[in-house]
Amino acid sequence: MATDNDFGAFMEKFIIPPTPSSSSPLQGLTFAIKDIFDVEGHVTGFGNPDWLRTHSAATSTAPVVSALLAAGATSVGSTVMDEMAYSINGENAHYGTPRNPIALDRVPGGSSSGSAVAVAAGLADFSVGTDTGGSVRVPASYCGVFGIRPSHGIVTTTGVVPMAQSFDTVGWFAREPAILRRVGCVLLQLPDLNDMKPSKMIIADDCFKLSSVPPDWMIRSIVRAAEKLFGGEIVKNVNLGDYIEEKVPSLKHFMTGDVVTSREFNIPLLEALSSSMRLLQRFEFKKNHGEWIESTKPVFGPGISERVEQAMQTTFEKIDACRSATVELRSALSDLLGDDGVLIIPTMPGPPPKLQTDASQLEIFRGRAFGLLSVAGVSGFCQVSIPLGLHENLPVSVSMVAKHGSDGLLLNLVEALWKDIGPQVCL
C-alpha cells in the first residue's frame, strides 16, 4: 500500500476527528488540507520556511475546514504547496516536490501540489486547496483527478493566507465526481441538484488548437455523452478569441509588451487576458506581502524568487484597465452562456512537463496555459477539470466553465456525464 512517504504529499500529518452534527454528509471520508489554511494550534507555513519561522500558531481554524469536520469528514494532515502559492509547477525547493502518482517523472502541478497528490495517491478521499491563477485546476489536470475552482467569492477565504484577493478561491479535489459534488454541497450550501441541466454546451474550437493532444480525442467522448443525455442540439461551437476581442475592449491595453504574436499558435486575446490577470495578481501580492518580504528578506527557490521580485516592482499602471477587463469579461461570458450554458475548453495545453524542465523551455507552454486559465480566473466563473484518461501514457483533462453562481449546475453535470465518459486511453 502506498504511504505519504512514497509521494511526499504531506507537510505535517495529524488527525482531526470530525465534529458531526445531526446531518453528516461526509461521514467516513478523509481529507487533506493545503498548508495555506489556518488550523488551530498549527503554524500555517505558506510553503516557505521563513514564513513558518516568523508566524505564530493559528488561534482558530478556517471556516472551510471547520465546515468539513462538522459534515463528518476526518482531516489527515496538511500538504506541501508551492512557496507563497506563486507557481503552477508544484516543485518546492525547501520541502521537496510531491511525486505525481500518475506520471512519476512529471511535475504534479501547483500550487496545491500536495493536495492533488494526496487524492491521486489514495492517501485521502478528497482535499482542499486554493486556486488564484490555476492552483487547483493545474494539479488536478496533471495528477488525473477532478478539481473545482468555484465561483469567485462564493466560498469564504477567511482563515486562508491571501495571494491576490481579486482571484483567490477555495477549491477541492476528488477521484470521483460524486465525492466532488458531496463536498460542494457542504461548502456551497447547495440543495438537491438532481433536476438541474444545461441549456447548451459550447466548445471553444480555437482553444483546443492550443493543445498538443488531438482535439478530436479530447472532445469526442464529451460530445457523445452530452448528446446522449440532452439531445443533439445542445452542443454548439465558438471561436472564443474572436468573441472576447469584440466584447472586452479594455484588453487593447494589453495587446503589446507581454503578448508575443510570433508564436507557432496563439490566441492573442487570451494572451492579453492572461497579462491582465497576472499584472493584477502581482499588484495585490505586493500589497499583501511586500512589507513582510522587505523586512524578513526570505529565501525563495528558483522561479519563485524571480516572480516575487517582479511583483515587488509592480506599480498602479494599467491596474484600472485590469479591473475593467474583469467586468467586461464577466458580462461577455454571461451573455454567451446564459443562465444554464457551459463552455468546454482544455484545462491545460498538454500533459504535465517533466520535472526540472528549464524555465525557458516552458515559456510557450506556460503562455498558452495562462491564456486558458484566465478565462475563469478573470471572469470569476466556476470551472471543473475533468480527467479524460491517458494520452501516450500521460494524464489529459478538459474543463467545463459555467456562469458565476452556477456551481451546482456544473457539479451535477460533471457527475451525470462521467457515467458515459469514463477514463479513456489513447496510445
Active site residues per annotation: 34, 111, 135
Query: Is the distance from CB of 193 to CB of 336 less than 8 angstroms?
Result: no
Query: Is the distance from CB of 217 to CB of 427 less than 8 angstroms?
Result: no
**All cell numbers assigned to 25:** 454528509
DSSP string, 26-49: TTT-EEEEETTB--TTS---TT-H
Q: E-strand spans in 198-269?
A: 200-204, 235-238
Backbone angles phi, psi at 7, to 5 degrees: -115, -10
What is d(CA 345, CA 356) in angstroms, rounded to the nearest whole number? Answer: 27
Query: Is the distance from CB of 75 to CB of 65 less than 8 angstroms?
Result: yes
Count Cα neighbours of 314 within 13 Å in the Cβ-side half-sphere: 25
Of 210, 117, 141, nearest to 387 by C-alpha is 141
What is d(CA 316, CA 206) in angstroms, rounded to the nearest whole number? Answer: 33
Pairing of strands 74-79, 394-402: unpaired
